[in-house]
């Protein structure tokens, strides 16, 4: 399978400003006349969005951690086949709000599920596919959760306690150390103009290295 496009993922915990900064990535790509597809996980297709709704909806029934993990990868399998891989094959860039690193962070770090199990499912669903660049928006957990305070509704994950999110953040940092060639950590606690200046810097570096 020949993939002509580039795959960029934006990762981070709660309250890091992913939506705002993904818009910055879009503006940069538009200025460079780069054709792209913006998508998200879990979700990205009608079926995968239904699975997302199942995953995020607060409910009285306790959701088994393994059920959650399998639903994540079920949505990802559909997303890859219907959206991500076709776009990359067409030569388009894909900008994805979270991907498999989030599964390691939330289900591996937060839920304490086996990283080996996650890696096995990763291989089954995506083979050797990995993002070309991962922008990790990072902020201390207290600040991130404080930013959620203005939301009228919070989903099932956002209802977790602070120690859950501390474990999520720690796993994200572990992933960044494990894969330094594709991870770029952006301090999302800085003023927005500084955050976006750093994002653009990393994108410019990425384009330059891709052209070399």
Q: What is the pLDDT of residue 156?
A: 81
**Residue 39 above 70 pLDDT?**
yes
Query: SS3 breakdown of the chain: % helix, strand, coil, rounded to 5?
Result: 55, 10, 30
What's the pLDDT tens digit per position in 101-122?
A: 999 999 999 999 999 999 999 9
pLDDT digits (tens, 9 = 90+) for 50-99: 999 999 988 889 999 999 999 999 999 999 999 999 999 999 999 999 99
**Interatomic CA distance for residues 42 and 179, integer angstroms:** 22
The backbone torsions φ and ψ at residue 149, rounded to the nearest 5 degrees and listed phi first, read: -60, -20
Work out the mean pLDDT of the chain and round it to a whole number.
94
Task: Give the confidence band of 152 by pLDDT, cuts at 50, 70, 90.
Answer: low
Q: How far apart are CA 39 and CA 95, in angstroms?
A: 6
What span, in angstroms and rounded, lies between the C-alpha atoms of 131 and 192?
25
Q: What Rg, from alpha-carbon coordinates, does the chain have?
A: 17
Least confident of 16-20, 21-25, 73-77, 200-204: 16-20
pLDDT at position 1 = 61
User: If DSSP codes are grouped into helix, strand and coil, which group holds residue 41?
Assistant: coil
Percent above pLDDT 70 for the chain: 97
pLDDT value at residue 92: 97
Side-by-side strand order, sheet with 133-138: 36-40, 93-97, 7-11, 133-138, 183-187
User: What are the distances in angstroms from CA 6 to CA 1, 172, 211?
Assistant: 14, 22, 12
Greater model confidence, 39 or 147: 39
Confidence (pTM): 0.94
CA distances from 84 to 41, 134, 137, 166, 209 (A): 11, 15, 22, 30, 22
């Amino acid at each position: 399978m020949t993939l002509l496009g580039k795959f960029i993922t934006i990762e981070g915990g709660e309250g890091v400003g992913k939506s705002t900064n993904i818009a910055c990535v879009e503006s940069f790509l538009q200025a460079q006349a780069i054709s792209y597809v913006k998508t998200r996980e879990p979700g990205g297709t009608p079926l995968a969005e239904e699975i997302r709704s199942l995953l995020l909806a607060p409910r009285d029934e306790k959701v088994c951690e393994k059920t959650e993990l399998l639903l994540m990868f079920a949505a990802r399998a559909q997303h890859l086949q219907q959206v991500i891989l076709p776009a990359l094959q067409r030569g388009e860039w894909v900008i994805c709000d979270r991907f498999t690193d989030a599964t390691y962070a939330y289900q591996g770090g937060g839920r304490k599920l086996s990283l080996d199990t996650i890696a096995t499912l990763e291989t089954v669903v995506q083979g050797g596919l990995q993002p070309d660049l991962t922008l990790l928006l990072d902020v201390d957990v207290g600040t991130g959760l404080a930013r959620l305070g203005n939301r009228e509704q919070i989903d099932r994950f956002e209802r977790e306690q602070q120690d859950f999110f501390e474990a999520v953040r720690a796993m994200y940092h572990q992933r960044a150390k494990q894969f330094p060639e594709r991870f770029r950590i952006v301090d999302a606690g800085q003023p927005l103009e500084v955050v976006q200046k750093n994002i653009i810097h990393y994108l410019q570096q990425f384009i330059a290295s891709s052209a070399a």
